[in-house]
Amino acid sequence: MREMASSLEPLNRWVDEVARLTRPDRIHWCDGSDAEYDSLVETMLGTGDLIALNPETNPRSYLHRSHPSDVARVEHLTFVCTPKEDDAGPNNHWMAPADAHAKIDALFDGAMSGRTMYVIPYCMGPIDSPIARCGVEITDSPYVVANMRIMTRMGTPALKRIEREGRFVRGLHSTGDLDPSRRFIMHFPDELSIKSIGSGYGGNALLGKKCHALRIASYQARQEGWLAEHMLIVGVENPKGEKHYIAAAFPSACGKTNLAMLIPTEGHRKDGWKIWTVGDDICWMTPGEDGRLWAINPEAGYFGVAPGTGPNTNPSALATLSHDAIFTNVALTADNRPWWEGLGEGEPVTDWQGRPYDKANGPAAHPNSRFTVSAKQCPSWAPEAEEARGVPLSAIVFGGRRPSLVPLVFEARDWAHGVLVGAAMGSETTAAATGAVGVLRRDSMAMKPFCGYNFADYFAHWLSFDQPGAHLPKIFHVNWFRKDGDGAFMWPGYGDNLRVLEWMIGRVEGTVPGLETPIGTVPAAGELNVRDLALRNGALSELLNVDIEGWRAELDHIGEYLDSFGERMPERLKAERKRVGDALVAAAVGMEKERAIG
């Protein structure tokens, strides 16, 4: 591989610089081959970094246990390092680039001594896609190499594209000594580079994922006129065989993967509806010559949360995981099968730390335990996921977990209104999770932890796509989590969410008029397909109700939130908030007049 890369002088110089700093015992250039992967697996089985699972129930699948202090992303140790602090924005932790390099390079000094340094060329997106971008991750973790092979197009083809293009994102990673006080993830957007040390956990160590595909890519996308978003991409095929592609952004615990792999209700299946999974986590989209937004899933695999994944919530995910998967921090059954809460079968005998399972020690599987698996193993995988030009988006959906106020679904009036809707999205906490009920945490476009620059500039970038000749997707907001007075969910969710997607497609095609309200368009009476759906009397009306006074208070809170990003907040977004507020005031006045007449 080194000979093949001889003409890649910038890459070769960087690898040499890193080797002098980190002082590994050996250097291995990854080619992405089956033989290489098999060799890595054998090595990790020998060291105990991987445990082979039951070959009959989970062939070619393995368990990895990370250090108990290293089980999740570390937002407080994640920095965006731009020359000016305002460019990183209040949505990011900031450090001056020179200070960040000095701090983290001191930790990299000799960090790979006694280890192998792996050089991983990879491509985020189909290898021949103009929307795709390449990177190289240097790491001392064979676990990272194995996961990057699943999650990206890794190896020789990526290296050849890097040689042709002459540019790539540089990612340097070492597990270091796993000391949490010596753990940092630094992003240098102006340099298209990432440095991460002290963690072996996915989001901190698989640098192609959140670090490259969102934080660096979002910055790169702003410079180049596209969007890198924390969104699933799902294809919805109607009985006529027509496909609409929808991108959707949700904060955590809002059913993102479940929607990406949605299984239609029996009635919809009989009618001929089908779902196609393009991506479950990240979406890169760019304007096409036809004015539409075309999107790719830059990833080649899924790095999903295991707990809660079961036969009732996501049978497609379970089918995907039946072979050739890597599990991280799940429990084990007596016959060496992976187990987690919500799986629905089996019993754990060993917890995620390798201890005999004892309820007193907490959950058997870590709540953030994961699976890594090729996207092509998903039963609903869309072959279009490999299309170089991507897929054209008909709609963009935002959503959050709101037990009250927010309707089941509404459509934004136009693009600017849709940007406001996305900027304002968020979820309310529960007592079980935080000890406080109803605390609203806004997570604009589900990108708050992942936007690589100032959120105010990010909103302005979104607004910039509204140009003459553009045929932009319609924007919707959904809320699957509305509760009744007894605290029970009013909407069944899961496969029944296709009923809402069906209405959205009707709006895209212009076949349903909808009902205009001050906050957007909701389904008019009879428009939402509720055939064979058991809802209590009045539930649908309540699910679609727009509480005028409640929304006036909500708009005040949205204004305070937007103001928190300072002077860079685009005036157009503020004006849009005022327009909605004025419409709510007018509606309230109208209601008062009606009451007075009555």
Q: Quick one: which of 243, 234, 257, 231 has its CA closest to 310? A: 257
- Is residue 595 predicted with pLDDT exceeding 80? no
3-state class (DSSP) for residue 92: coil
Q: Is 308 annotated as a binding residue?
A: no
Burial class (CB in 10 A: 0-12, 13-18, 19+), 269: middle
| Confidence band of 429 (pLDDT split at 50, 70, 90) | low
Is 254 one of the annotated active-site residues of the chain? yes
Q: How far apart are CA 91 and CA 80, in angstroms?
A: 10
pLDDT of residue 2: 44
The average pLDDT across 209-228 equals 98
Q: What is the DSSP letter of 491?
A: S
Query: What domains can be seen in the chain, in order of their start residue?
Result: 9-47+75-224 (3.40.449.10), 229-300+383-585 (3.90.228.20), 301-374 (2.170.8.10)
- Is residue 435 predicted with pLDDT exceeding 50? no
Q: Is 368 annotated as a binding residue?
A: yes
Cα–Cα–Cα angle for 544, 548, 550, rounded to 5 degrees: 95
| Confidence band of 4 (pLDDT split at 50, 70, 90) | very low
The average pLDDT across 454-473 equals 97
Which segments within 308-376 are labelled E, that is strand? Answer: 325-328, 331-333, 338-339, 348-350, 370-374
The overall longest dimension of the chain from CA atoms, in Å, is: 86
Burial class (CB in 10 A: 0-12, 13-18, 19+), 442: middle
Q: Which amino acid is at 199?
A: S
The average pLDDT across 79-107 equals 98
The average pLDDT across 256-267 equals 94
Spatial CB neighbours of 231, under 8 Å, sequence gap ≥ 6: 247, 248, 249, 279, 281, 282, 283, 396, 446
Give the pairing of strands 391-399 and 325-328: unpaired
Q: How far apart are CA 227 and CA 125, in angstroms?
A: 14
pLDDT of residue 433: 39
384 contacts 391 by C-beta, under 8 angstroms: yes
pLDDT of residue 221: 98
338-378 pLDDT, tens digit per residue, is: 999 999 999 999 999 999 999 999 999 999 999 999 999 99
Q: Is 230 annotated as a binding residue?
A: yes
Q: Is 73 annotated as a binding residue?
A: yes
Read off the tokens for 125.
């997106």
Q: Is 20 annotated as a binding residue?
A: no
Q: Which amino acid is at 332?
A: L
pLDDT of residue 477: 98
- Is residue 1 predicted with pLDDT exceeding 90? no
pLDDT of residue 598: 65
Q: How far apart are CA 43 and CA 67, in angstroms?
A: 19
Q: Which residue has the tokens 């001594």?
A: 113
Averaged confidence pLDDT in the chain: 95
Give the pairing of strands 227-229 and 78-80: unpaired
3-state class (DSSP) for residue 203: helix
- Mean pLDDT lowest for which of 175-179, 204-208, 472-476, 590-594? 590-594
Q: Give me the percent of the chain exceeding a pLDDT of 70.
A: 97
The average pLDDT across 3-23 equals 86
| Confidence band of 438 (pLDDT split at 50, 70, 90) | low
| Confidence band of 252 (pLDDT split at 50, 70, 90) | confident
Q: Is 201 annotated as a binding residue?
A: yes
375-400 pLDDT, tens digit per residue, is: 999 999 999 999 999 999 999 999 99
Q: Is 125 annotated as a binding residue?
A: no
Whole-model pTM: value is 0.96
Read off the tokens for 541.
């009306």
- Is residue 89 predicted with pLDDT exceeding 80? yes
pLDDT of residue 255: 85
Q: Is 37 annotated as a binding residue?
A: no
| Confidence band of 439 (pLDDT split at 50, 70, 90) | confident
Read off the tokens for 26.
């050996």
pLDDT of residue 434: 36
CA 463 from centre of chain: 21
Choosing from 254, 283, 378, 451, the catalytic residue is 254
pLDDT of residue 284: 98
Give the pairing of strands 301-305 and 283-287: unpaired
* CA-to-CA separations, 464 to 101, 225, 296, 566, in angstroms, rounded: 33, 9, 20, 19
